[in-house]
Structure 1
Amino acid sequence: MTPQPAHRPPVQPRQFRHRRLLRIPADAYDWAIEVLADAARQRYRPITATIGIANGGLAPARAISDFLRLPTHQVNAKHNPTDATYTEATGIVTYDLGPLTRRLAAHDLTGTVLVVDDICGTGATFAALLPELAAYLGPDVTLRTVALCRNAGSALNPDLWVWTVDDWVLFPWERPPAAATVEDLPAPSQVETA
């Protein structure tokens, strides 16, 4: 990742109770994707594409795109210094828009674009990337933020999310550390909105 100028908004710490790790089981994840995609389709027509924030947001962006039959674009961003459990965010977001630049090949995005991440921990990643995406937008484009989870301590609410969490989250592609206490998140019945 080629670091761009660091974006450092005021960061409110994420909320971690340190009681258990919250796991999203595969079936709850699949249902969350459908619920998010359906809610986005109903609220934000016409949706024309997703942008997945890699690494964690790329899988849900692709899944939402598959459900809605849309193209997926990618940007890379990093906010945590490591992937270790309970790592506190630094407030410094580094990003690389190269994958998006190459994919669009000087064309602008149109319509409504969903910017997707796995979790909105502090809101800093969305806050850093949204202004940078302006260079890739045609007239009258709307960006909507979508996340599977929102940490209860986040200063920012995405436009759509499924679970509000108060501890570290394990996504279906992650394994819990040995001897960790794990609690499965329930399948969602609805989305949360800003």
Structure 2
Amino acid sequence: MNSQAPQQSPVQPRQFRRQRILRIQLDTYSRAIELLADAARRRYSPITATIGIANGGLAPAQGVSELLHVPTYRINAKHNPTDATYSEATGVVTYDLNPLTSELAGHRLDGTVLIVDDICGTGATFTTLLPELTAYLGPEVALRTVALCRNAGGTLDPDLWIWTVDDWVSFPWEQPPAADAPIEDLPIPSQVQTP
């Protein structure tokens, strides 16, 4: 069994202005997935697989995989103590690699693999998981991190992302948050951001 005890990472507080909830509408989300897939194809080809960090990274990983015609794998990880709005990350990342190892059934990934999450808040989830994946990778694998959003307070930049945000984000697959703050839609993107 690959279920792991929590891993403590140094935590950099995320930036929340607490002025509004940033919402990603479905058409905006679809455009973001197209841009991420295209950027990954142009920069890192050939892409051989995506790994979605569930729960939030699974939908974008599947969307990118569909456009690139590659398989999606899943790993489970949790960084926030709750799903409550403005919940601060603790630096403790719990994870379970069993969904990935079951699907691989002893095989190793090769080529360029995209590790996908919905948001890179502090960077602790990516930082914790990347070294844990090496046992499931071939010798020449390149791992690239991809996120829809990057929090402005974080210190880690993914390899590719769309929006830099400074408030709580509501994603299309989530229930709208129960918050008194106004809703502001993120704009339809025109480009991918890189470090």
- Specify if TM > 0.5: yes
Q: Take 1:123 and 1:3, find their aligned partners in 2: how far apart are those partners?
A: 21
SS in 2 for 1:192: coil
Does residue 32 of the first structure (1) align with residue 23 of the second (2)?
A: no
Q: CA deviation at 1:10?
A: 1.1
Q: Take 2:14 and 2:30, find their aligned partners in 1: how far apart are those partners?
A: 25
CA-based RMSD of the aligned residues comes to 1.3
State the Cα deviation string for residues 138-176 of structure 1 (Å, max 9, x = none): 011000000000000111000000000000000012213
Q: Take 1:180 and 1:157, find their aligned partners in 2: how far apart are those partners?
A: 27
State the Cα deviation string for residues 169-191 of structure 1 (Å, max 9, x = none): 00012213264300000011000
Q: CA deviation at 1:5?
A: 2.7
Paired letter, 1:71: P
Q: CA deviation at 1:6?
A: 2.1
Paired letter, 1:133: L
The within-5 A match list for 1:44-83 is: 44-83=44-83
Q: Which residue of 2 aligns with 1:188?
A: 189
Paired letter, 2:146: V
SS in 1 for 2:122: coil
Q: Which residue of 1 aligns with 2:90?
A: 90
Q: Take 2:177 and 2:80, find their aligned partners in 1: how far apart are those partners?
A: 18
Q: Take 2:9 and 2:37, find their aligned partners in 1: how far apart are those partners?
A: 29
Q: Take 1:177 and 1:70, find their aligned partners in 2: how far apart are those partners?
A: 36
Q: Take 1:155 and 1:94, find their aligned partners in 2: how far apart are those partners?
A: 20
Q: CA deviation at 1:54?
A: 0.1
Alpha carbons of 1:76 and 1:3: their partners in 2 closer, same or farther (altered >3 Å)?
Answer: same
TM-score (norm 1): 0.97
Alpha carbons of 1:178 and 1:119: their partners in 2 closer, same or farther (altered >3 Å)?
Answer: closer
Q: Take 1:3 and 1:105, find their aligned partners in 2: how far apart are those partners?
A: 16
Q: CA deviation at 1:119?
A: 0.2
State the Cα deviation string for residues 102-152 of structure 1 (Å, max 9, x = none): 000000000000000000000000000000000000011000000000000
TM-score (norm 2): 0.97
Q: Which runs of 5+ in 2 are unaligned?
A: none
Q: Which runs of 5+ in 1 are unaligned?
A: none
Bigger CA drift: 48-57 or 173-182?
173-182
Does residue 19 of the first structure (1) align with residue 32 of the second (2)?
A: no
Paired letter, 1:187: I
Paired letter, 1:47: I
Alpha carbons of 1:155 and 1:178: their partners in 2 closer, same or farther (altered >3 Å)?
Answer: closer
Q: Is the 8 A contact 2:85 2:177 kept in 1?
A: no
Does residue 104 of the first structure (1) align with residue 104 of the second (2)?
A: yes
Q: Take 2:120 and 2:130, find their aligned partners in 1: how far apart are those partners?
A: 13
